[in-house]
Amino acid sequence: MSKIDVLLGLQWGDEGKGKIVDVLTPNYDIIARFQGGPNAGHTLEFEGIKHVLHIIPSGICHKDKINLIGNGVLIEPWILEKEVKSLENIGFNPKSNLYISKKAHLILPTHRMLDAANEKNKGAQKIGSTLKGIGPAYTDKVARTGLRVGSIFTSDFEVLYKKACSAHLSQIKAMGYEPDEFKIDGESFEEYEKKWFDSLATLRQLTIVDSEYFIDEALSEGKRILAEGAQGSMLDVDFGSYPFVTSSNTITAGVCSGLGVAPSKIGRVFGIFKAYCTRVGSGPFPTELFDQDGETMRQEGREFGSTTGRARRCGWLDIPALKYACMLNGVTHLMLMKVDVLNKFESIKICEQYEIDGNQTDKVPYETDAVINPVYSELKGWCEDVAGKNTFEQLPIAMKEYVNAIEQKMNLPIAVVSTSPDRKDTIIRTEL
């Protein structure tokens, strides 16, 4: 029996997972999303064209590969329909190779309104939600009041839908707001609801499966499966900087519950990280930069959210956080992204440890308000454009020293080095 390989982010999201999934897809038969929802923004870039996927797995542009949305993922039908049509407009037919779990939960229009109300209610304590309805939808899932994809084929779906929406509107009123205060993508509830219901037609046209049986049968047949994570390990609802986290388990353990597979069926774990760090929204960020270096990272890396458009916070590479994420995930291979963003830096810093209350540690603290002073080492920059360099040997000496330094600190091999957003600029150092 085959095992499922896992590819996930080791930082606060936006690590470049979409590109690497796209690069690795030829090696697999099935690409499967296991958590998150349209709060993801996985970017594919090839032939000078940028494509952003929010729900659909990043292997969808490979016509002979099955792309599965697992039970742990949240489906927003209107966003899914837009994504399907966008792919159709550039010559792909996602309806032919996109499968969806019956047990995946639906994001309702009122989930998005409730998300906005919750965020407004937090005031200065807001977490920076994408306002896609993720938190409220997962809340309903845990409360056993959610609606699943399989529900759209039942005779009582509209009754259940109206009951759920009524409960959400009551919650908004209980917070002291009127529901019509909250637009959905600039539209009223009634306007958006019509589009949402119309988009169910597209969802019904897709292949709906019992994903746990589908995955088990595929593994029994020897098929190769890659599980694709969304967001990043440092945003995990249990192990991230709570409450400044997403609403799902973004780590390897989430694959088991998000696809319905046993831990023994997990194979290799590919951990994706950037040569620096970014974060969107609130929460601790020990190496965050507020100077020109941070702004240079932002501009060179085009660090603006693909889902929200918000400018990302930028900072130097954080080794304690990276070690923590590798520990949680059982990472076997590291994949280094966006080294090209550091092309213009004469010197590059790496956070080796944290100093907290005068003591040095390499452990991530429980307290989100802890005052952390990063302890840095410094390496020479390469000050050279590396796009188009497709072997490790072609890279500048200073860049190779940077890669080797990270490997030594992490005691893990860096299997992939990405030298530009384009998928062709990907150096694969280890057979995958």
Average pLDDT for 39-44: 67
Is the pLDDT confidence value at 46 over 60? no
Average pLDDT for 213-218: 97
The answer to whether 391 and 364 are in contact (CB under 8 A) is no
Residue 130: the pLDDT is 77
As annotated, the residues of the chain forming the CATH 3.90.170.10 domain(s) are 274-428
Is the pLDDT confidence value at 5 over 70? yes
Average pLDDT, the chain: 92
Whole-number percent of the chain with pLDDT over 90: 76
Is the pLDDT confidence value at 236 over 70? yes
Reported as a pLDDT band with limits 50, 70 and 90, residue 180 is confident
Q: Is the peptide bond before 94 cis (omega within 30 degrees of 0)?
A: no
The answer to whether 66 and 77 are in contact (CB under 8 A) is no
- Thinking of the domain 274-428, which architecture would CATH place it in? Alpha-Beta Complex (3.90)
Reported as a pLDDT band with limits 50, 70 and 90, residue 348 is very high
Residue 422: the pLDDT is 83
Of 123-132, 138-147, 228-237, the poorest mean pLDDT is in 123-132
**Cα distance from N-terminal residue to C-terminal residue, the chain:** 18
Reported as a pLDDT band with limits 50, 70 and 90, residue 59 is confident
The residues annotated as belonging to the active site are 14, 42
Reported as a pLDDT band with limits 50, 70 and 90, residue 401 is very high
Residue 127: the pLDDT is 60
Task: Give the span between the Cα atoms of 116 and 102, in whole angstroms.
Answer: 27
User: How do residues 75-96 score in pLDDT, each as one tens digit?
Assistant: 999 999 999 998 888 888 889 9
Residue 191: the pLDDT is 94
Q: Which two tokens stand for residue 101?
A: 């779990």
Is the pLDDT confidence value at 222 over 70? yes
Neighbours of 313 (CB within 10 A): 22
Is the pLDDT confidence value at 42 over 70? no
The answer to whether 246 and 280 are in contact (CB under 8 A) is no
Residue 125: the pLDDT is 63
Average pLDDT for 403-422: 94
Reported as a pLDDT band with limits 50, 70 and 90, residue 122 is confident
Task: Give the span between the Cα atoms of 246 and 280, in whole angstroms.
Answer: 11
Residue 43: the pLDDT is 65
Is the pLDDT confidence value at 31 over 90? yes
- Thinking of the domain 105-202, which architecture would CATH place it in? Orthogonal Bundle (1.10)
Q: Which two tokens stand for residue 400?
A: 């190779």
As annotated, the residues of the chain forming the CATH 1.10.300.10 domain(s) are 105-202
Reported as a pLDDT band with limits 50, 70 and 90, residue 18 is confident
Reported as a pLDDT band with limits 50, 70 and 90, residue 388 is confident
Task: Give the span between the Cα atoms of 149 and 167, in whole angstroms.
Answer: 20
* Best CA proximity match to 45, nearest among 19, 25, 7: 19
Average pLDDT for 47-67: 81
Reported as a pLDDT band with limits 50, 70 and 90, residue 62 is confident
pTM of the model: 0.92
Q: Which two tokens stand for residue 137?
A: 């939808």
Average pLDDT for 240-251: 94
Of 58-62, 233-237, 275-279, the poorest mean pLDDT is in 58-62
Task: Give the span between the Cα atoms of 118 and 96, in whole angstroms.
Answer: 38
As annotated, the residues of the chain forming the CATH 3.40.440.10 domain(s) are 4-101+208-269
Task: Give the span between the Cα atoms of 14 and 309, in whole angstroms.
Answer: 12
Q: Which two tokens stand for residue 239?
A: 């192990």
Is the pLDDT confidence value at 26 over 80? yes
Average pLDDT for 13-23: 88
Residue 39: the pLDDT is 74
Burial class (CB in 10 A: 0-12, 13-18, 19+), 197: middle
The contacts of residue 127 (CB under 8 Å, 6+ apart) are 119, 243, 244, 245, 281, 282, 283
The answer to whether 413 and 430 are in contact (CB under 8 A) is yes
Is the pLDDT confidence value at 47 over 60? no
Domain 4-101+208-269 has CATH 3.40.440.10: yes
